[in-house]
Structure 1
Amino acid sequence: MAETSLPAAAPTGGEKPRIHVACCFDARMAMPAGVLAASVAATTTDAHVTFYMLHAPGVSAQLQALKAALDSGDFTVIPCEVSGDRSDLTVNRQYPEAIYYRFFLPDIVPADRVIYLDTDMIVRRSLRELYEMDLGGAPLAATKDYALTSHMRDHGMPVVFRGAFIPVDDYCRDVLGLDLSQKDYFNTGILVMDLKLMREQQTMERCLAFCRENPGLVMSDQDAANHVVQGNFRQLDVRWNSFTYLYAEYFPEGGKRKGPDLFGGYGDSLQAPPGQWRDILTQWAFDPWVVHFAFQSKPWVGGHRRTAYDGEFWAHAARTPFLKELRRGLMTSTMRYGAWLAWYHNPVRAYLRQPHVKRAVRGAVCSVGVDRLRPRYRLKQLLGWMTGRGA
């Protein structure tokens, strides 16, 4: 069980219902989590919202500043520091320790239900109707993961498991025990969780056990949840978890995608899809209820794909104490991306523009007195040697 520092919950007031919302993060995602909280406060005005922010040590000061900015009669931020040893779980940069914090929600949140949200999201619609929905006896509600099925599987994109390329269907069947021809795989970006039922069935303890027994899962927390739930979830409207960036990958402006391929060489195989997948992409792009800035579509990171909803992210960021720091981070990462892009498109030119190379070239041209009479010849000779086209 996680060790937490949990303040007392704010009292319920007025006639509006109390709903409980949660997110989980470490220091790297603390500021985007603040923007998510601001978006919930701005859109869910028909309920009293208690927003639990489960976080790794080291961000308490930031969250106290956020709490001072957002707390009101209808919205309360409750920071919950999560500690404890989780060295037996797979952790890396893409999937940090904080992804496992959601498994501790039944122990931390003193309620029978909670809405969980990933921190790379903004909410555009009141969460009250989601919180009050009938789960029909299922432990959770979620959206089917169309990015895994209609996007990856149907275009032949494999997953990488323990160094091997495996078809999506084979991975789900052989590793997760989930037959996609009979049961659906859900995305854990947004979850309506029946905490009471999960406590009774020890759902989250079983998820953690599966993660420990199967190190190196492709998407550790999500794979474990799908293994345990086995398709027994209530499906949400796809607009509650909108991967808005994908529309431009299928329907690029001007017929050409901007920037490098995001999908390991499979980007060129993406064609304008017919039927249900086309309808889903259109809903995600033009009527998202929750925007999921998944994969390489984060507004605060330079070089990522841009969406029509980046402006809304920055508008919510302006209501937090993190706007200047987020902008500074965007500028820094954009400069780094620009340098990488120069190498990507023209590595020789990028190499020659580096200061130490420029100094070396000047030294080679002007090192001997007689060569000062023919610097252009010496430079041409040096460039030919560097590019392999000369002696």
Structure 2
Amino acid sequence: MRIPLLVTLDQHYLPQLRVLLTSIYLNHPVQVFDVYLIHRQIPGESLKKLSEDCARLDFRLIPIRADGETFRSAKVTDRYPREMYYRLLAGEWLPHDLDKILYLDPDILVINSLNALWEMDLRGYLFAAAAHTGKTEMANSVNKIRLKTNTDYFNSGVLLINLEEARKEIVPDELFHFVEDNPMALLLPDQDVLNALYGSRILSLDDARWNYDARNYSNYLLRSGGKENLEWVMENTSILHFCGKDKPWKKNYRRRFGSLYRHYMSLTERYLQNDV
């Protein structure tokens, strides 16, 4: 069985996508993946090189150019780029024989198997996602008030998407109208839209396993009573997410897990010799 993955990005994040895919490959020795890339205008030569990289990993790349006609009524600006809508509207472009897909942000390392996440039963839910509640409950409470929701504030960087239900329930024009009508409420537009419109339709995941916020090691350690130390993370966490503006591929990154990310950068160059 091939597991379908969804990524949505522009050409500037192709180097990080290569690291993500290499980390998936190295932690799934017998599993293969189909990589669906929804994009607007990545050059053909870059897509060709990425396809060759995927083939080296025994993955298959399926690039999909998002149809501009879908966005005829969308608010599209620098703050609200088309790309912010892609993961929520993926069912518009993905093959209809796909009934679910796993979306991952490119600033992620996969350090253990994704199989248990992929096999989760999504019946009755649109998405599965994790909330980063460990850093401060106040932020979680503020987001509930700001967006008028009664669920935790889910991170949109890892989503198991029920495509069958999404095609029925997510109407592009309704999504676009919500963005148009709530310009002051949306601080993180793509994530805010997910929570405001679909928060009650999300199956909650354990973030320590499936969307570990790499900035918050001390908080995870504290809330687990010391259980979730580095050894625990390396053995139990599957998805390590480098949230925020400080990124581990930048030279001045000094946070925990930076060395692990740079190790995977080196492994990427070993397995994928040509540059994207």
Q: TM-score range by the shorter chain?
A: 0.7 to 0.9
* Partner Cα distance (2:213, 2:274) in 1: 24
Q: What is the CA-CA distance between 1:188 and the residue it aligns to?
A: 0.9
Correspondences of 1:322-361 after superposition (within 5 Å)? none
* Matched letter for residue 138 of structure 1: Y
In 1, Cα distance between the equivalents of 2:226 and 2:274?
36
Contact 1:207–1:221, Cα closer than 8 Å, also in 2: no
Aligned partners of 1:31 and 1:322 also within 8 Å: no
The match for 2:204 is: 235
Q: Contact between 1:91 and 1:97, CA under 8 Å: does it hold in 2? A: no
Matched, 1:80 2:80: no
> CA deviation digits over 1:346-384, x for unaligned, max 9?
xxxxxxxxxxxxxxxxxxxxxxxxxxxxxxxxxxxxxxx
- 1:247 Cα shift? 1.9
Residues 1:193 and 2:180 are matched in the alignment: no
Q: Does the alignment pair 1:176 with 2:125?
A: no
Change (3 A) 1:83 1:107: closer
Q: What is the deviation of 1:34?
A: 2.3
Distance 2:122 2:195 in 1: 17
Match of 1:108 among 93, 97, 102: 93
Shift of 1:290: 1.0
What is the TM-score normalised by the length of structure 1? Answer: 0.60
| Residues 1:246 and 2:216 aligned together | yes
Correspondence for 1:337: none
Q: Which residue identity does 1:47 align to in structure 2? A: Q
Q: Deviations over 1:240-274 (max 9, x none)?
A: 111123226x6xxxxxxxxxxxxxxxxxxxxx984
2:247 to 286, 289, 298: 298
* Structure 1 pair 226–203 and aligned structure 2 pair: CA distance change class (3 A): farther
Tell me the CA shift for residue 138 of structure 1: 0.9
- What amino acid is the match of 1:30? L
Distance apart, 1:90 and its partner CA: 4.8
Tell me the residue number matched to 1:310.
261
Rate the CA distance shift 1:295–1:102 in 2: closer, same or farther, 3 A: same
How far, CA to CA, are the matches of 1:109 and 1:126 in structure 2? 24
Check whether the contact 2:130–2:205 (CA below 8 A) recurs between aligned residues. yes
In structure 2, what is the equivalent of residue 143 of structure 1? 130
Q: Structure 2 length normalisation: TM-score?
A: 0.81
**Among candidates 192, 213, 216, match of residue 181 of structure 2:** 213
What is the alpha-carbon distance in structure 2 between the residues aligned to residue 28 and residue 210 of structure 1? 29
Rate the CA distance shift 1:306–1:171 in 2: closer, same or farther, 3 A. closer
Query: Which residue identity is paired with 2:2?
Result: R
**Residue 19 (1) aligns with residue 6 (2):** no
User: Which residue number in structure 1 is paired with residue 53 of structure 2?
Assistant: 69
Aligned 8 A contact 2:126 2:165 in 1: yes
Letter paired with 1:185: Y
AA aligned to 1:230 is G
Identity of aligned residues (%): 26
Give 1:19 shift: 1.7
CA distance in 1, matches of 2:8, 2:102: 12
- Would you say the 8 A contact 1:67–1:77 is kept in 2? yes
The range that moved more, 58-67 or 192-201, is 58-67
Q: How much has 1:315 moved relative to structure 2?
A: 3.2
Structure with max Cα Rg: 1
* Residue number in structure 2 paired with 1:161: none
Higher relative contact order, structure no. (Cα contacts within 8 Å, ≥ 6 residues apart): 2
> In the aligned structure 2, how far is the partner of 1:127 from the partner of 1:152?
27
Gaps of 5+ in 1: 1-16, 158-167, 251-271, 326-391
Q: Deviations over 1:77-110 (max 9, x none)?
A: 1122235257713533xx7542322123101221
Q: Among residues 102, 105, 124, which one is paired with 1:118 in the alignment?
A: 105
How far 1:278 moved relative to its partner? 6.4
Q: Encode CA deviations 1:4-49: one digit per residue, 9 max, x unaligned.
A: xxxxxxxxxxxxx122111111132122122222222332344331
Coordinate RMSD, CA, aligned: 3.0
Asked if the contact 1:143/1:241 (under 8 Å) is kept, the reply is yes
One-letter identity of the residue aligned with 2:153 = Y
Query: Using the alignment, how far apart are the partners of 2:91 and 2:101 within structure 1?
Result: 9
For residues 83 and 274 of structure 2, what CA distance do their matches in structure 1 show? Answer: 20
Residue 196 of structure 1: how far off its partner (Å)? 0.4
Whether the aligned pair in 2 keeps the contact of 1:125 and 1:290 (CA below 8 Å) is yes
C-alpha distance in structure 2 between counterparts of 1:316 and 1:55, whole Å = 26
Aligned partner letter, 1:119: P
Aligned-pair CA distance for 1:200: 1.4
Which residue of structure 2 aligns with residue 43 of structure 1? 27
